[in-house]
Structure 1
Amino acid sequence: MAVVVLAVLALVVTLVVVLSNSEITANPRCTITAPPDSPGLPTTWTLTPEQADSAATIVGVGRRLGVPDRAVTVALATAIQESGLANLRGGDRDSLGLFQQRPSQGWGSEDEILDPVYSATAFYTALVAVPGWTTMDVTVAAQTVQRSGFPEAYADHEPEARLMAVALLGQAPGAWTCVDLPAAPPADPGTGAVAELAARELGTSRLSGTQPAENGWALATWLVAHGERLALESVTYDGRTWTVASGAWETSGPADGRLSLRRIGQPA
């Protein structure tokens, strides 16, 4: 009997250790994989969920404003350099937010700058007002807007900025995945929060039904990049589904051009 008890205790201890280690080693992250034959792009790039969320906002606002794709790359490279794609509450002197914009330099109030939608809108507005910005190198365009003390640093981040832009603009189907995201339901498992965020960033709350290929993948990727904030269980587009459980895009049905999503805990 004693042998059986010891064996059971050993099994319990083993399970506790395994479960504890799985919690310790959980590594929420998002990965972007470059399409084949993509010269100048890194093969893969990994971000934290916070960085993915910020990138999705920057690109979403760019799509709402209708700026050229190059503006999106400039904005992402700038935010990587300035804040590491984090909505910082401080910085050099009175710098704040994703782009380290300064209230004292006319970028807006502290509360406004700390709103990523506002700060991204302000950056794009300043960028497209620069004469000839479309023919400038990314680092020159960014520096013209930012007036940084390290003007050459923006160029270091152009490759990953381009990779993120390609994925979030829908030009690389299934390239963006997120794994090990928390699987806890939101306080309100309905779709209201999703529609509200989409309306603010994208200018539309229509995130279901048939979508043209590039737009559909742009929306699907935007959703996955915001997956942690929105507590998404799954996103499906054109017969492929990403789930929070698998963290990958898998074939789930016919290629029908339809987009749908499900939040954790959402009623069937």
Structure 2
Amino acid sequence: MSLVAAAVGAIIVVSGAEQPTTEPVAIDAALPRKTSAATRGGDRVPSTPVPSGSGAVPSRSSTPSRPPRPVTGLNQTQMNNAAVIVRVAQERGLPRRAMLVAMMTGLQESSLRNLANPSVPASLDRPNEGSGDNFDSLGVFQQRPSQGWGSVAQLMNPRYAAGAFYERLVKVSGWESKSPGDAAQAVQRSAEPDAYADHEERAIKIIEALL
């Protein structure tokens, strides 16, 4: 099991209901703001430029029993969500640059937390790590059901949310040649397009710890 695969299994079942765990887990099931998130004409947007690399990135370790401990500034829950972002990119055969763009987005939008939203009551019934209040934005990437990103249940699943982000990213013409911040902005359409760059250094460290 890779470091990422171990960390990705960050949801446990308690009394029949899924609940996120803040402890590292060694299972292969895959589910899981900057505190402020930019707003994209109604949408909340990610921000954290991240350096690029090319080609899908293999795991560095083959059979660790537990996920890596969080990098400085993150807790285990945030690191588990970061692992999901990396794992989903690997499963899709996406290059390291895609991971970096997505990681910066998660850092800017939610500080890598799976956020519910009181404006969307159903989200409060899903496993979550706090709540935001930006329109109907949900989850790690603060994606909006009303903007066609997915259902409430889907967007509150970090694995689905990461996949939805990557699907839109790869449809951006020339995204690989754009700066990570510009690529994130092309997906999120933030009212604060320059905010992503603030997260590049941390995003790099997180990804390096997971690969």
- C-alpha deviation, 1:45, in angstroms: 2.9
Q: Which residue of 2 aligns with 1:14?
A: none
Confirm whether residue 106 of structure 1 aligns to residue 148 of structure 2: yes
The runs of 5 or more residues in structure 2 that have no matched partner are 1-21, 25-50, 52-70, 118-132
CA contact (8 A) 2:78 2:113 kept: yes
1: CA distance, partners of 2:208 / 2:90: 12
1:51-200 superposed matches below 5 A = 51-90=78-117, 91-169=133-211
Count, aligned residues: 130
1: CA distance, partners of 2:93 / 2:205: 19
Deviations 1:114-166 (A, max 9, x none): 01100000001110111100011111000100111211111000111111112
Deviations 1:61-84 (A, max 9, x none): 111111010000000000000001
| Structure 1 runs of 4+ with >4 Å offset | none
Q: Which residue of 2 aligns with 1:175?
A: none
Structure whose residues are more often helix by fraction: 1
1: CA distance, partners of 2:188 / 2:75: 25
Shift in alpha-carbon separation, 1:29–1:77, aligned structure 2, 3 A: farther
Structure with more contact order per residue of length (Cα contacts < 8 Å, sep ≥ 6): 2
CA contact (8 A) 2:23 2:77 kept: no
CA contact (8 A) 1:55 1:164 kept: yes
CA contact (8 A) 2:144 2:150 kept: yes
| Aligned Cα root-mean-square deviation (Å) | 1.8
2: CA distance, partners of 1:139 / 1:100: 17
Deviations 1:10-66 (A, max 9, x none): xxxxxxxxxxxxxxxxxx899xxxxxxxxx9xxx63311111111011111111111
- C-alpha deviation, 1:167, in angstroms: 2.1
Aligned residue identity for 2:179: D
The TM-score normalised by the length of structure 1 is: 0.46
2: CA distance, partners of 1:161 / 1:29: 21
What percent of counterpart residues are identical?
Answer: 49
Structure whose residues are more often strand by fraction: 1
CA contact (8 A) 1:83 1:97 kept: yes
Deviations 1:174-229 (A, max 9, x none): xxxxxxxxxxxxxxxxxxxxxxxxxxxxxxxxxxxxxxxxxxxxxxxxxxxxxxxx
